[in-house]
Structure 1
Amino acid sequence: MNSLFCRHNRFTADCPICSRGTLLDPGRGGARRGSGRSASGASTPTRSGARRPSSAGAARSPGYPSAEVGPYEDGEARRYAVRLERVPGGLRLAEWSGGDIRRRAPRLAVDDLPSLVEAAAERGVLDGAEAEALRVAVVAAGGSLGPGVSPGRAGDLRDELRVEPLEGAGLVRVARWMLRPGTGWELREAPVMLPGARYVEAVSAAVAPDVGGG
């Protein structure tokens, strides 16, 4: 009887203290079983699947103040919306489709700019000065924008934030262009993330030709 029970009032085989170093020690024969469980557990679809939603959640940027317009349809009949978000580092303007961000410079309707600015102001995406300056610009535009540019730098390279009307589509493309040594200006087909002042400057410049010509 004494061999079955230990001083901790457990079966000796089940006691991690009293079975240590004996043939009953699970750390001897059972070590391989334990490591096998750990290895299989680390590679199961459940665990790897559990990591993917957190990654997808990061792409959806939960918790960031945002405003959205659309939906629109591209040349391949894919529907998307355009979202303006206040993210760490500035404002991000991007196309979204099916809950995922698109790797393309955003295109949106000129007529939707006022509603985007108002929604962004109400939801805290834009600060007071940014919102007021953009309101003035889109009202002055009256549904018609020319090309507008905000020059800047990205490290050693010059860059421009450009607001560009797309002929016959009623859309504008808001895109960043980089000046590459030896190759000239290059369009970055990607979401735009810059300080709010750059958007204000580019949109205001897009209005200026019409205002001056009137």
Structure 2
Amino acid sequence: MSLFCRHSRFVADCPICSKGTVLDPARSTRRRPPRSGAHGKRASARAEKPVFSGPNATSPAYEDAEGGRYVVRMERVPGGVRLAEWSLAAQGQAGSQPRRRAPVLPPSDLVELVKDGEAVLSTADGEALEAALRTQPTCQTEGRDPGDTGPAVSRGRSGDFKDELRVEPLEDGNVRVGRWVLRPAQGWQLQEASPMLPAKRYAEALGAAVRLGVLPTSS
């Protein structure tokens, strides 16, 4: 292609001769329209992807400070047990979804949930949790207000990585079951997610909670 057009201009500078060619400045601003419905179908597929929920035991419904309603489920999942809050859908909204925070519920309800969970967990896991609830409280904690004690803890470690599963008494009388992680230069931090750990870790934390008086002893 010649640099000059029949109008004695650079082809790139001539609005007539450059029109429709790669030199047309308007060509670079046009975009191929997206294929109809392609993006919408992918987005819809993502939105409809089901959230995994294994065999589970479920607590009564609760309401948080913001008015959101939820239940707590003890679920059998690959590799162990998950204790998670699940939102209850309001009228006209989508179905139940897991909430990204450590579950909170009354101490007596946690005990009943663990007892109900024995039916959905493996035999060994269910028996380990049930045995933890039969731990005898220490003499110093009998008749003591659970809020006067610290958290019941199950400690874990992998190399330099440390974590704790804690059953903690809260000021409102509920307990929180949360996983805490020790981060360099930041200290211990609560993970705003559902703890998912081997049943052994839950048994250790629950047994410590009964021993400290954070949870009532199971009969």
Query: How many residues align structurally?
Result: 167
Q: Please give the alpha-carbon distance, in whole angstroms, between the structure 1 residues aligned to 2:194 and 2:126.
A: 21
Q: Secondary structure at the match of 1:103?
A: coil
Instruction: Please state how far the C-alpha of 1:128 moved relative to its aligned partner.
Output: 2.5
Q: Is 1:114–1:139's contact at 8 Å kept on the other side of the alignment?
A: no
Aligned alpha-carbon RMSD (Å): 2.8
Instruction: Please state how far the C-alpha of 1:90 moved relative to its aligned partner.
Output: 1.7
Counterparts in 2 of 1:140 and 1:50: CA distance versus 1, 3 Å: same
The answer to which structure has the higher helix fraction is: 1
Question: Counterpart of 2:167?
Answer: 163
Q: Any unmatched runs of 5+ in structure 1?
A: 1-35
Question: Counterpart of 1:206?
Answer: 209
Question: Counterpart of 2:178?
Answer: 175
Instruction: Please state how far the C-alpha of 1:134 moved relative to its aligned partner.
Output: 2.5
Q: Which amino acid is 2:109 matched to?
A: D
Question: Counterpart of 1:18?
Answer: none
Question: Counterpart of 1:5?
Answer: none
Q: Please give the alpha-carbon distance, in whole angstroms, between the structure 2 residues aligned to 1:139 and 1:74.
A: 30
Instruction: Please state how far the C-alpha of 1:154 moved relative to its aligned partner.
Output: 5.0
Instruction: Please state how far the C-alpha of 1:120 moved relative to its aligned partner.
Output: 1.2
Q: Does 1:107 align with 2:104?
A: yes
Q: Please give the alpha-carbon distance, in whole angstroms, between the structure 2 residues aligned to 1:52 and 1:159.
A: 33
Q: Residues 160-198 of structure 1: CA distance to partner in whole angstroms, max 9, x if unpaired?
A: 00000112x231100011111112111112110111100
Question: Counterpart of 1:73?
Answer: 63
TM-score w.r.t. length of structure 2: 0.66
The answer to which structure has the higher strand fraction is: 1
Q: Any unmatched runs of 5+ in structure 2?
A: 1-31, 90-95, 138-142, 215-219
Q: Secondary structure at the match of 1:101?
A: coil
Q: Please give the alpha-carbon distance, in whole angstroms, between the structure 1 residues aligned to 2:213 and 2:45.
A: 53
Q: Does 1:92 align with 2:77?
A: no
The one of 109, 114, 117 equivalent to 1:117 is: 114
Question: Counterpart of 1:137?
Answer: 132
Question: Counterpart of 2:28?
Answer: none
Instruction: Please state how far the C-alpha of 1:51 moved relative to its aligned partner.
Output: 3.8
Q: Is 2:56–2:117's contact at 8 Å kept on the other side of the alignment?
A: yes
Q: Secondary structure at the match of 2:48?
A: helix
Q: Please give the alpha-carbon distance, in whole angstroms, between the structure 2 residues aligned to 1:171 and 1:88.
A: 28
